[in-house]
């Protein structure tokens, strides 16, 4: 009789603790995701470090897939936006998987713009205005439409005139 009561208590506790543990793991994943998807350089650096060494983060089952800048050039006029676009894809895909995308979309788009501006800051002062112009165009495309597919060739041509 005592064994049955103890067994019943163990089963009840186990049933109560498993959902609590799953909720804690989800909350922890969202915390890490939030830490890695802020507009600050430190957030980008933490995400990039994890991107380069994913083993410690396997238990979180993050989606690291990317199509980079989608249908837009990854390196418009030679400015390398590939990793910034990957960071943006990471945020979009993982917040969608977590069912928390709408509440985070604006911040993810701001993060992309901040990442692109940091990329532009690494280029010569002579071509930097063209890079910033493209960064703004890419930001506007994702902010308004949720996709870089809406960047037009004319936008890139307009930025190109700033180099000449």
Active site residues: 88
Owner of token pair 């890079």: 131
Cα 97 from Cα 118, distance rounded (Å):
28
State both tokens at 38.
Answer: 């802020």
| DSSP letter assigned to residue 135 | H
Cα 158 from Cα 88, distance rounded (Å):
24
Q: Are 74 and 68 in contact (CB under 8 A)?
A: yes
Helix (H) or strand (E) holding 75: none
Start-to-end C-alpha separation, the chain: 88
CA distances from 115 to 41, 51, 85 (A): 8, 15, 9
């Amino acid at each position: 009789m005592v064994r049955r009561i103890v067994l019943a208590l163990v089963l009840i506790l186990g049933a109560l603790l498993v959902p609590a543990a799953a909720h804690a793991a989800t909350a922890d994943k969202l915390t890490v995701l939030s830490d890695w998807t802020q507009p600050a350089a430190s957030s980008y650096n933490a995400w990039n470090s994890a991107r380069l060494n994913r083993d410690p983060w396997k238990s979180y089952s993050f989606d690291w897939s990317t199509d980079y800048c989608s249908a837009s050039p990854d390196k418009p006029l030679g400015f390398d936006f590939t990793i910034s676009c990957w960071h943006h894809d990471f945020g979009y895909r993982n917040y969608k998987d977590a069912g928390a995308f709408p509440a985070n979309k604006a911040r993810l788009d701001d993060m992309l713009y901040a990442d692109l501006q940091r990329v532009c800051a690494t280029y010569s002062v002579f071509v930097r205005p063209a890079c910033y112009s493209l960064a703004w165009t890419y930001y506007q495309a994702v902010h308004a439409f949720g996709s870089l597919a809406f960047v037009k060739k004319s936008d890139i041509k307009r930025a190109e005139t700033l180099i000449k």
